[in-house]
Structure 1
Amino acid sequence: MIVLGCNGFSRVSEFFSERLGATGINKHYLLGHDAAAALLIDGRLVAAVEEERLNREKKTTDFPTRAIDWCLREAGITFDDVDVFAFPWNWSPQILDEILNGIRTSPLPEAEQAELTGTMRDLFEQVVSHDAILADFEARTGHRPDPAKVRFVPHHLAHATTGYYLAGMKDSAFLVSDGRAERFSTLTGEIRDGRITVFDDTVTGSEFSMGTLFSAITRFLGFVPNNDEYKVMGLAGYTAPPTPNPFVDHLLTLHDDGRYTFAKPLRTDDVHSHDALFEEYFGPFEDTLEYKARVAAAAQQMLNVATAHQVSRLEKRTDLDHLLFEGGVALNCLNNTPLFEGSRFDDMQVSFGASDTGITIGAAAHAWLNDPGTGPAERLAASAPVTPYLGPAYDDAAIEEALAGFTGRVHATRLDDDELVEQVAKLLTKKVVVGWFEGRVEHGPRALGHRSILANPGFDDIKDIINTRVKHREPFRPFAPLVLEERAPEIFDMGRKTSSPYMTFVFPVRDAYKDRIPGAVHVDGTSRIQTLTDEGTPRLTALLRRFTALTDTPCLINTSFNVAGEPIVCTPTDALKCFMGTEIDYLVLGNHLVTKSELPDGR
């Protein structure tokens, strides 16, 4: 059975721009972002890639034409071979009626109700309805899927299934929390034997969306909502939350059933609906680190309190010991460690596809799991945890072709694996920055060692060098360390966690190591780590082992191979352009060690 999952809409960005003013820094304040495609064959994920990696538009909402084409080519199939087309949205007429009834009963003035009602009708008919999605598919691909082969998976169920499938399909409780799905923003439930049970009384409407509220705070602080929330997380480490915290004490209300609400509901059609309230709480906006950090710390504490309340109720509703946390809010790694440590669950997993980058995987897996032909034997055969390295790879011929386009500007030497590891490990003993490009592109928002920038965390000023000379971004931004999984608990206080392969958890750095890896320690004494194993990333793990042997420094800095505002590099040419446009010192392209020709002695 072959299932193609896809997410993205040709007109959604244009529609939100024209009708709701979602332009400028608000351009991602909409649905359909993180367009992507994924392909399952007999339950095995054989290909998945985000459209942004191919069209080079960060967080693109566009229909994933390139991603679909690549997935089909990678598998050597055509549309005629696909058994099921899965979409991670289910905007049914009933959903539209419920949304419109909510508008009619809202306290909005009659004129605003009428305008918003018209907007939602047009959004449904032109962009997100079943007919609109299939028409969009046909217009962009030339293929009209047979309706009998189409599955529209509710957005949050796609999120839950993403976590379940990527973790190896172990029976699990789940919490899904994001900006909004068709109507809701968060829910909890269980997955047993591939079947989802939603605890209906825990469902929270989009007017009380923690994800949307955090995005509104991100925008208020001058950053791009639905894109720059990690900047708010970084700022939160610079100060303690205020006491009292107006977000917790005045805005947030916790309910006995595990839900939460806000004293002032969100206007999801108005990105500025809470700006006045934020200034009432914190005073007029000031473009200073102190002001932004105070708001960020307050927002972070609010998010922690709300999700801990949900999990506390969930653990009383289920006898399962494994927890999945999915949705955009699950990328708030500052929250994940205390959330797990404060629970009774034996383990908690946040997948590499937790945000909307992964919902095409979840939609495809949901369609496969709910097919009559998928039984226990089929699930068992496909039950191994899934690697994040799912996108395009480039062989020596492709790399050499890309290098030819930079003739005279770069010098490249081809090495075998052992030579490459040895030379790069020696280079990293110095204060240099290395672009690292190998294998298939990783899926999701984090660079996980196939499209990464590496550096030695033993230098106090290496963060400033990378932020200013390479990434072209704010100086307060922290960097994540790579660490061998077997050594991680020695260096970081990991509590009950034993691994963190996807940079989704943050841990305190043990005192004995803070001075040894200063470049990877945030101002609050923590690090968002990626644990490495020989099985998962063999050559990168070998590099870290050799680097540690040379320096007695047990970590390497790992940040995404891109500059601010651009997607992570995908092709060798992308990598070379980024290399030449920044002050990255060396570039590894597969087995080629590349330097800039202007460097003395070919360095």
Structure 2
Amino acid sequence: MIVLACNGFSRVAEFFADNFGAVGKDKHYLMGHDAAAALLIDGELVAAVEEERFNRDKKTTDFPIHSVRWCLDHAGLDFADVDLLAIPWNWSSEVVDAVLADISAAPMDAVVRGQLLRGIRGLAAEVVSPEAILADFAARTGFRPDPAKVVFVPHHIAHAMTGYYLAGMKDSAFLVSDGRAERYSAVLGEIRDGRIRIFDESTIGTENSIGLLFSAITRFLGFVPNNDEYKVMGLSGYARPPVPNPFVEDLVELLPQGRYRFRTPLATDDPRGLDPVFERYFGPFDDSLEYQARVAAAAQELLGVVTNHQLRALESKSDLNHLLFEGGVALNCLNNTPLFEGSRFEEMAVSFGASDTGITIGAAVRAWIDYSEDWAQRDQPPVNPYLGPEFDDSAIETALREFDDRVGWTRLTDDEIVDQVAKLLTEKVVIGWYEGRLEHGPRALGHRSILANPSFPDIKDVINTRVKHREPFRPFAPLVLEEDAPKIFEMGRKTRSPYMTFVFPVRPKYQDVIPGATHVDGTSRVQTLTDRDTPRLAGLLRRFTALTDVPCLINTSFNVAGEPIVCTPADALNCFLGTEIDYLALGNHLVTKAHAGPKDEVSA
């Protein structure tokens, strides 16, 4: 069975701009961001990629035409070969009616209510209804799917199934929390034998969305909502939450069954609606680090209080021992570690596709399970995140020739590139590392990465200012071999963190060894490596450690602020030349700027 899944809408950005004023920094505040496609063949995830990697519009909402075509081309398929098309949204007429009823019952100004009702009706009719989605698909691809072969998967169900599939399809309890889905913002439940049960009494509506609240705080601090929440997470390390914390004491009320509500209503269509409340709590906004960190620390504590309350309810409702945490809120890795450590669950998984980048995977899996008679008989092999395009030596060398007047390069063997890069990294240099298939999800996981030596205390400043062109407070993640991680980090009950979804304290004896990868609060967002998943990168780290006695490397995404992670060799070369990255390992080619190094005969 062949299942193609896609997420993205041709007109959603235009619609939200026209009807809700969602432009500029607010353009991703509402639904549709992280357009992507995924392809599942007989239960095997053979391809998945985000549209932003092709169209170079970060967090794009557009229909994923390039992603869809690449997935099919990669597998040698055409649209006619697809058995099912899966969509990770289900704006059925019943759902739309329920959303409209929620708005009608909500306490708000009559004029605002009327505008919101008209907006939702227009959104459904023009953009997200099943009919509108299929018309969009046909207009962009030239192929009109048979409606009988299209599966509309509720957004939160898609999130849960993403986690379920990527964690090996174990029976699991789950918490899904994000900004908003069709009607809700968070659901609790469990998956047994592929079947989902939602605990309806614990469901959270969008008017009490902790994800939307965190996004509103993100915007208040001057950042882009639904994009820069990780900046708030990083800022929180520079302060302790106020005592008492007004976010916890005054803004939220915890209710039975894991539910909660905001004492000051959240206007889900207005990311600025709570700004006066924030200023009442913390004083008039100013962009000083001290002010921003104080607000961020308060927000981080609030997130922990709310999600911990939800998890306590989930523990009482499910006797399963494996926990899935999915949705955009699950990307707050600073929250994840204490959340797990304070729970009774034996394991907690947060996937590389936890945000909306991954919902096409879950939608495809849901469709496959529902329509396949023998899915349960299939052994589920481990899935790694390297699911996107790969470019061979010929494509790399073609790109190098196009930049012939600005770069020099040497072609090396596998062992030579590892050895040379390891030696270069013993110095205070920044290296672009490009290999294999593009990783899926919002974080670079070693195939499109920027690497550096964490033993230099000021290397963070070098990368932030000279390379990434971003705020100086931003921390960097360390790469560490899985078997070495507990020696360097206080990992508690966790044994691995392959997707940078957990934060751990750096053991005191190593804080001076890897200062460039240790945040101001003494923690690190860790990525553990294995030879199975990342053999060449693991080999590079081993060689580097042998040369330096430093057991980690800094890893950050191969891009600059505001741009997607690089996809093609040309993307990598443009980023390399547009920044102060010192060297580029492009496949087996070591690249320098302005013919600073020897040039291989392939450039002739």
What band does the TM-score fall into relative to the shorter chain?
Answer: over 0.9
Q: Which amino acid in the other structure matches residue 573 of structure 1?
A: A
Matches within 5 A, 1:343-354: 343-354=343-354
Counterpart residue identity of residue 529, structure 1? V
Match of 2:543 in 1: 546
Shift of 1:601: 7.2
Aligned to 1:356: 356
Tell me the distance in 2 between the aligned counterparts of 1:112 and 1:444: 36
The one-letter amino acid of 1:118's match is R
The corresponding residue for 1:457 is 454
Q: Which amino acid aligns with 2:183?
A: R
Aligned twin of 2:424? 427
> In the alignment, is the contact (CA less than 8 A) between 1:165 and 1:385 conserved in 2?
no
Superposed displacement of residue 252, structure 1: 1.0
Q: Offset of 1:439 from its aligned partner?
A: 0.2
* Contact 1:35/1:63, CA 8 A, preserved across alignment: yes
- Equivalent AA in structure 2 for residue 86 of structure 1: A
User: Residue by residue, what CA displacement relative to the aligned partner does 1:529-586 show, whole Å, maximum 9, x if unpaired?
Assistant: 1000011100000000000000000000000000000000000000000000000000
Q: Tell me what 2:294 maps to.
A: 294
1:533 equivalent in structure 2:
530
Structure 2 partner of 1:324: 324
Structure 1 residues 204-353: aligned runs within 5 Å: 204-353=204-353
- Residue 141 (structure 1) aligned with residue 141 (structure 2): yes
Query: Any conservation in 2 of the 1:596–1:602 contact (CA below 8 Å)?
Result: no
User: What is the aligned partner in structure 2 of residue 445 from structure 1?
Assistant: 442
Tell me the alpha carbon deviations over residues 229-274 of structure 1, each in whole angstroms, 9 at most, x when there is no partner: 0000000000100000000001111112111111012111112110
Q: State the one-letter code of the partner of 1:250.
A: D
Structure 1 stretch 171-180 or stretch 249-258: which is displaced more?
249-258
1:46-85 correspondence to structure 2 within 5 Å:
46-85=46-85
TM-superposition CA deviations, 1:161-220 (whole Å, max 9, x none) = 000001110110000000000000001100011110111111000000000000000000
One-letter code aligned to 2:213 = L
Deviation at 1:375, TM superposition (A): 3.8
Residue type of the alignment partner of 2:32? G
Quick one: distance in 2 between partners of 1:426 and 1:372?
Answer: 51
Q: Residue 534 of structure 1 aligns to which amino acid in structure 2?
A: D
1:572 aligns with 2:569: yes
Mapped partners of 1:574, 1:483: distance in 2: 27
State how far apart, in whole Å, the 2-side matches of 1:601 and 1:77 are. 42
Aligned partners of 2:509 and 2:391: how far apart in 1?
41
Q: Which amino acid aligns with 2:521?
A: D
Aligned to 2:433: 436
Distance 2:79 2:244 in 1: 58
- TM-score, length-scaled by structure 1: 0.99
What displacement does 1:115 show? 1.5
| Mapped pair 1:389 → 2:386 | yes
- Once residues 576 and 371 of structure 1 are traced to their aligned partners in structure 2, the CA distance between those partners, rounded to angstroms, is 44
The amino acid of 2:298's aligned partner reads A
Report the Cα distance in structure 2 between the residues aligned to 1:103 and 1:199, rounded to whole angstroms. 23
Q: 1:78 to 1:601 in 2, by over 3 A?
A: closer
Aligned to 2:477: 480
Equivalent residue number for residue 515 of structure 2: 518
Match of 1:502 among 496, 499, 504: 499
Letter paired with 2:502: F
Quick one: which amino acid aligns to residue 242 of structure 2? P
TM-score norm. by structure 2 comes to 0.98
The alpha-carbon deviation at position 98 of structure 1 amounts to 1.1
| Contact persistence 2:37–2:360 (CA under 8 A) | yes
Any gaps of 5 or more consecutive residues in structure 2? none
Tell me which residue corresponds to 1:400.
397
Cα deviation, residue 361, structure 1: 0.3
- 1:470 maps to 467
- Deviation of 1:376 after TM superposition, in Å, equals 2.1
> Secondary structure in 2 aligned to 1:457?
coil
Shift of 1:602: 7.5
Contact 2:22–2:29 (8 Å) recurs in 1:
yes
The equivalent of 2:189 in structure 1 is 189
User: Aligned letter for 1:309?
Assistant: H
Structure-1 residue corresponding to 2:171? 171
Conservation of the 8 A alpha-carbon contact between 2:410 and 2:598: no
Mapped to 2, the partners of 1:484 and 1:596 lie a distance apart of: 31
Partners in 2 of 1:417 and 1:329 — Cα distance? 39
Q: What is the percent sequence identity of the aligned residues? A: 71
CA–CA separation in structure 2 for the residues paired with 1:543 and 1:372: 42
Q: State the Cα deviation string for residues 454-513 of structure 1 (Å, max 9, x = none).
A: 000000110000000000000000000000000000000000000000000000000000
Q: CA deviation at 1:372?
A: 4.3
| CA displacement at 1:30 relative to structure 2 | 1.3
Q: Distance in 1 between matches of 2:472 and 2:441?
A: 24
Q: Are the aligned partners of 2:468 and 2:560 in contact in 1 as well (CA < 8 Å)?
A: yes
Amino acid at match of 1:576: L
Mapping of residues 119-158 of structure 1, within 5 Å = 119-158=119-158
2:3 matched residue in structure 1: 3
SS of 1:257's equivalent in the other structure is helix
Contact 2:368–2:375 (CA under 8 A) maintained in structure 1: no
Q: Which residue of 2 aligns with 1:581?
A: 578
Once the two structures are TM-superposed, the CA of residue 114 in structure 1 deviates from its matched residue by 1.6
Distance 1:453 1:372, change over 3 A: closer
CA distance in 2, matches of 1:223, 1:233: 12
Over the residues paired in the alignment, what is the CA RMSD in angstroms? 1.0
Structure 1 counterpart of 2:365, which letter?
A: A
State the secondary structure of the residue aligned to 2:119.
Answer: helix
